[in-house]
Chain A
């Protein structure tokens, strides 16, 4: 027996079967290499995903925490309400300049009380520790609560300057402050001392989510309120229009359409529209809804209409798949007991396909929520500080949208806006995550295998 395993005297194959020859080794090495390529490719994709998420999250998380200065503020009645009536309409005549003086005095007093020396700093530099938005904050508070005039607020929170905020988040350093015309190292030292004395600190910043956008100089005051509301309005428009139209179109094509030239044309159209670049829909919106129909620019209604047209094919395709998945026996049974075609579809097929249709709908909405390019063309990139009004009139008010807000922040000069833009992306991704999670849960819970 052992003889057989020994090398044969002649023949093409020389050597032992237990010892790999040159060619086999080469082929096996090629095999290993090929597997490795696959693993490397997958790792590259995973790494890219990780790098993308890490870079956005590390840049964006600080946006949710903001540096505030907390100081006691005297509100002298002779400066803020000369009439003495405490009537907000009269008090509104005092502009933010008047409030800025009050704040500067309060800040100087607070610094003196804690024994923080500001020698060598000009008054402007001391005031520069605070955001240019701070007087407006105080003014809005006083106008909302006129009774506080003449008293003193023991602790009032004011936004710190964006550069000071950046210092505590590591974006601004002593070295960079030397080159920066907006901040000096001395100011940062005072800010550090104020933190040690408990006058300054970071906390969670709700205003980032609720406040409107702020001007180019005030990244610390910029918020997403208008953008979130605008996106919400657009999603309502998309939902209200595309759900009935999409489902009706899917039902027609799947259940009623006879095969002819016209239905073929519709099918080809839907398939191609799903692949048309989104920016083309923006051009369509500009030409048809704004120039031709005369709808206002920057309005959520126009954005909603454009996104509806874009989303429709992406809803019709999964809705048709869901309808197709309902077995014909259901239809036959309904028809067999005397239901009409319409009754069989609306009473039996459609309810059974509903979870699938809904899942497709949510995913379509999520795509629409993240879409930016078409909205740029219909003017949603405009600077909007006023919240749009209530529904339905608010649909025609100017607003912006979450992804567009990200874009417009990236075009601004102040580096503080990069943090804001990344933070806005986190908010956007959270919304998308919620929507997709709902879609997955729906699918898991209601999906039927026939």
Chain B
């Protein structure tokens, strides 16, 4: 029985349970619902939940566990000469799955009967041709052991499906059997169902924690794996990035780190003055009308997807910088460069700096400004000598947040900065960043046992730690600063 059908049956049982539970409560109250502890609806709900929830938990658990057991049983059947290592084992297993799927299709289409299949061997029948007729194309002839494994896989799968149906229905009936007899006029059905709702809400809020745990575990686990293949010291202190897919790679992070910091530095060089000065102008000088027009326009910059900035860097900014600056000045002739990516990323980061600084400047108490203006300072003197120093910690926090954005940004650097890992000072040269290399090492056909692929996880962990550190620091500074004026 398919998963969808089982789910429908369980839901149907639960719905029946709802009606039965509700009616039982009303009957127990003698038709006068006022004497019930909870509304009839809650009595029904308790039976509904007791029927459906355990059944679905069993179903989900079964769906996760069954493939694991079947795989381990079947992979034991594949001899070592077919699958000498882990990668070949995975391939053989996927062959097994495809063959068994093909055999299912063949039986569905009446090409063979189950009894014929039982007696079938690869010597007597051309399995590959048979599977070809039902639309499963195989790359080579079927190995006898693999074919036997596929037959066993089919059988195990079928047994599992029957077991699953029985277990799920049993869980549903058991839940019903436990909950239904307890329904009576004094049963605290509302409290029971509300406890369930609260627990569900709590479970939803733990998804965020689970995500973080997932990120950390997957990064740390694979990074550790990487460091068993490649010395950690060489990774953190190496100045050459030269992955070779034949082995003997040099995977030093320093050139990537340099590229990342250089691009981010240029981005901040663009974003901080522009963002800060516009925030000052908007909060201190601009009229209401200008504010209502300009502020949303700047916010638009934050809403534009980064791929758009990437394309802008690729087709507009890169060629302009190359033709009007880099080539006339003899600084290089590449349209992707640190400068291209930095400037475009700077534009992207402007709204982060400006809206955060805006908040922070607005949080400076008006009395400070009034005092300064009352002593005869001009508005600009007030801003430079009173407001900004008072807002400084917050502004620093905003800049740190912007820096963390810039360091973690991917698409702009993938499309604008280039792919050459270099330690150079010339901003018109193509350089590369941590994020670019994560993308290039993990896209395409990847084999998860080589250091060239696993290095991406170490890079990811470095990136995660750096951005997290910057964020925590920035949030700490901003919070400290806010408290100061509250």
- A residues sitting closer than 8 Å to B (CB atoms) are 27-28, 30-31, 33-35, 37-42, 44-46, 48-49, 51-52, 55-56, 59, 244-246, 248-249, 251-253, 256-257, 265-266, 269-273, 275-284, 286-288, 291, 294, 309, 312-313, 316, 340-342, 366-367, 369-373, 376-377, 379, 381, 403, 406-407, 410, 418, 421-422, 425, 428-429, 432, 436
Judge whether B305 and A372 touch: CB under 8 Å: yes
Interface hits, B122-157 → A, CB 8 Å = none
Instruction: Flag B459-483 by CB within 8 Å of A: 1 or 0 each.
Output: 0100110011001100100000000
- Given A252-B205, A278-B410, A370-B307, the answer on whether A46 and B215 have CB atoms closer than 8 Å is no
Set of chain B residues within 8 Å of A279, measured between Cβ atoms: 408, 410, 435, 438-439, 460, 463
Set of chain A residues within 8 Å of B439, measured between Cβ atoms: 279, 373, 376-377
Judge whether A278 and B305 touch: CB under 8 Å: no
Set of chain B residues within 8 Å of A251, measured between Cβ atoms: 201
- Name which residue of chain A comes closest to B350, CB basis: A45
Judge whether B201 and A283 touch: CB under 8 Å: no
8 Å CB contact of A403 from B297, B305, B314 = B305
Contacts A/B (CB < 8 Å), 5 sampled: A37-B281, A52-B304, A56-B308, A256-B201, A432-B305
Set of chain A residues within 8 Å of B354, measured between Cβ atoms: 45
- Given A45-B298, A372-B411, the answer on whether A252 and B204 have CB atoms closer than 8 Å is yes
Judge whether A370 and B305 touch: CB under 8 Å: yes
Q: Is B443 an interface residue (CB 8 A)?
A: yes
Set of chain B residues within 8 Å of A403, measured between Cβ atoms: 305, 307, 411
Judge whether B311 and A410 touch: CB under 8 Å: yes
Closest 7 CB pairs of A and B: A277-B408, A370-B305, A38-B281, A248-B204, A287-B218, A41-B277, A34-B380
CB distance from A409 to the nearest CB of B (A): 9
Judge whether A249 and B208 touch: CB under 8 Å: yes
- Given A39-B281, A436-B303, the answer on whether A271 and B194 have CB atoms closer than 8 Å is no
Set of chain B residues within 8 Å of A265, measured between Cβ atoms: 209
Set of chain A residues within 8 Å of B205, measured between Cβ atoms: 248-249, 252-253, 257, 266
CB distance from A432 to the nearest CB of B (A): 7
8 Å CB contact of B190 from A246, A340, A418 = A340
Instruction: Flag B191-206 by CB within 8 Å of A: 1 or 0 each.
Output: 0001001101110111
Judge whether B306 and A372 touch: CB under 8 Å: yes
14 more A-B residue pairs beyond the given contacts A279-B463, A377-B438, A432-B303, with a C-beta to C-beta distance below 8 A: A34-B379, A40-B277, A52-B304, A55-B315, A55-B316, A249-B204, A266-B208, A269-B208, A272-B472, A279-B435, A309-B207, A367-B303, A406-B307, A407-B411
- Name which residue of chain B comes closest to A242, CB basis: B207
CB distance from B165 to the nearest CB of A (A): 20
Q: DSSP class of B's interface residues: helix, strand, loop or mixed? A: helix
Interface size on B (CB < 8 Å)?
Answer: 85
Q: Is B278 an interface residue (CB 8 A)?
A: yes
- Given A277-B407, A284-B218, A432-B305, the answer on whether A41 and B207 have CB atoms closer than 8 Å is no
- Given A45-B301, A248-B201, the answer on whether A422 and B443 have CB atoms closer than 8 Å is no
- Given A35-B380, A279-B408, the answer on whether A288 and B218 have CB atoms closer than 8 Å is yes
Instruction: Flag B83-125 by CB within 8 Å of A: 1 or 0 each.
Output: 0000000000000000000000000000000000000000000
Set of chain A residues within 8 Å of B435, measured between Cβ atoms: 277, 279, 373
Instruction: Flag B171-212 by CB within 8 Å of A: 1 or 0 each.
Output: 000000000000000000010001001101110111111011
8 Å CB contact of B294 from A37, A46, A275, A316 = A46
- Name which residue of chain A comes closest to B440, CB basis: A376
Q: Is B242 an interface residue (CB 8 A)?
A: no
Set of chain B residues within 8 Å of A277, measured between Cβ atoms: 407-410, 435, 463-464, 467
Judge whether A48 and B311 touch: CB under 8 Å: no
Set of chain B residues within 8 Å of A269, measured between Cβ atoms: 208-209, 211-212
Judge whether B312 and A41 touch: CB under 8 Å: no
CB distance from A262 to the nearest CB of B (A): 9
A410→B411 CA distance, assembly (Å) = 12
Set of chain B residues within 8 Å of A48, measured between Cβ atoms: 301, 347, 350
CB distance from B354 to the nearest CB of A (A): 8
- Given A245-B204, A312-B208, the answer on whether A52 and B215 have CB atoms closer than 8 Å is no
Q: Is B232 an interface residue (CB 8 A)?
A: no
Judge whether A278 and B408 touch: CB under 8 Å: yes
8 Å CB contact of B438 from A245, A246, A249, A283 = A283
Judge whether B300 and A283 touch: CB under 8 Å: no
Judge whether B380 and A30 touch: CB under 8 Å: yes
A341→B201 CA distance, assembly (Å) = 13
Judge whether A280 and B460 touch: CB under 8 Å: yes
Q: Is B222 an interface residue (CB 8 A)?
A: yes
- Given A277-B410, A340-B190, A370-B305, the answer on whether A291 and B448 have CB atoms closer than 8 Å is yes
CB distance from B40 to the nearest CB of A (A): 15
Set of chain A residues within 8 Å of B438, measured between Cβ atoms: 279, 283, 377
Q: Is B273 an interface residue (CB 8 A)?
A: yes
A309→B222 CA distance, assembly (Å) = 20
8 Å CB contact of A34 from B222, B308, B383, B404 = B383
Q: Is B442 an interface residue (CB 8 A)?
A: yes
Set of chain B residues within 8 Å of A287, measured between Cβ atoms: 218-219, 221-222, 457
Instruction: Flag B424-457 by CB within 8 Å of A: 1 or 0 each.
Output: 0000000000010011001100001000000011
A272→B201 CA distance, assembly (Å) = 21
- Name which residue of chain B comes closest to A270, CB basis: B208
Set of chain A residues within 8 Å of B442, measured between Cβ atoms: 282-283, 286, 376-377
